[in-house]
Structures are given as C-alpha cells and as structure tokens.
C-alpha cells in the first residue's frame, strides 16, 4: 500500500535512512514539508519517496529510499510510478554516479540523462547524474515522454 507520510512515520523514515548510507540523509521531519509518500508491507513502512513541487508543471525527486530487506521488490518503481501518473510536467532528479541500480531503474522508467554536477555529493565526494522525464497524457493514459 502506498499512502501519504505522516508524523507517525518519522521513526521508520529515519530507520530506513540509517540503513541506506547513500541516501540524502536529511532530518526526516523536513520531508513532511514536501510530497512524501510511504510504501507499507504488512503494516510496516518499507520505502519512501520525497518530491518537491518547484512549479505547477515542474517537480524534483529529492529522495527515494527502500529498506534493504525490501529491495528488489519493486517499491521504488511503484512509488515513483504513482507520483508520475498523477503529475503533468517535467520531473528532475539527481543520482550518485556510482548508483548503477538506481540509474538503471530511472532509465527503465523513461528518465533521460540531462547532465552532471561535479562534486555534488559528499561523504564520499561524488558527481551527480541529472536525469529528467516529461510526463504527458497519451490516448487517455499518462506516460513518460522525453525527446
């Protein structure tokens, strides 16, 4: 089940991030200032997505984190897919250059590389790959469409 995050989820968000060293690592409470969604399995939060709306037709994925025990089960794809299905416009994200699994996921969902940001990440220092997708309606259903 995917739903909006609430204050009761903060401990779970923090726990998932502690187990995911490459994640953004913000204070979990700050995520509630944005569009923050959680995925639950068996009544337990197993993943979350944080999106900042920059403008009515522009958004940025700030963080996608899946509990290590729930990885490779499609949670990140479902969280991102649900957001994109409701959004009409351009969506951006940055991903660590070394995070091949995430980059492959984003690519498979229709995101395209738009550039890079040298030294964007710290601990360890690493470049970010900037990716984007343009969502639109096509024949009554929403799809990712770049190009």
Segments making up each domain of the chain, as ranges? 2-144
Task: Read off the pTM.
Answer: 0.86
Count the helix, strand and coil residues of the chain and give each as a percent rounded to the nearest 5.
25, 45, 30
**How far is it, in rounded angstroms, from Cα 92 to Cα 65?**
16
Q: Out of 17, 31, 94, 121, pick the active-site residue.
A: 94
Q: 106 an active-site residue?
A: yes
Question: Looking at domain 2-144, which CATH architecture does it have?
Answer: 3-Layer(aba) Sandwich (3.40)
Tens digit of pLDDT per residue, the chain (147 long)? 999 999 999 999 999 988 876 666 678 889 999 999 999 999 999 999 999 999 999 999 999 999 989 999 999 999 999 999 999 999 999 999 999 999 999 999 999 999 999 988 887 888 999 999 998 754 444 445 444
Catalytic residue among 106, 121, 126, 137: 106
């Amino acid at each position: 089940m995917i739903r909006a995050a609430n204050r009761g989820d903060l401990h779970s968000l923090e726990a998932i991030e502690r187990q995911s060293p490459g994640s953004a690592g913000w204070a979990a409470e700050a995520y509630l200032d944005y569009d923050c969604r959680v995925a639950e399995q068996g009544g337990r939060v197993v993943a979350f997505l944080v999106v900042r709306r920059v403008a009515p037709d522009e958004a940025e994925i700030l963080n996608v984190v899946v509990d290590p025990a729930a990885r490779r089960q499609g949670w990140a794809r479902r969280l991102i897919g649900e957001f994109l299905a409701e959004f009409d416009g351009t969506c951006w994200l940055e991903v660590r250059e070394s995070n091949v699994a995430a980059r492959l996921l984003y690519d498979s969902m229709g995101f395209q590389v738009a550039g890079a940001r040298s030294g964007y990440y710290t601990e360890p220092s690493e470049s970010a790959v900037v990716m984007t997708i343009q969502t639109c309606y096509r024949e009554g259903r929403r799809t990712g469409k770049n190009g």
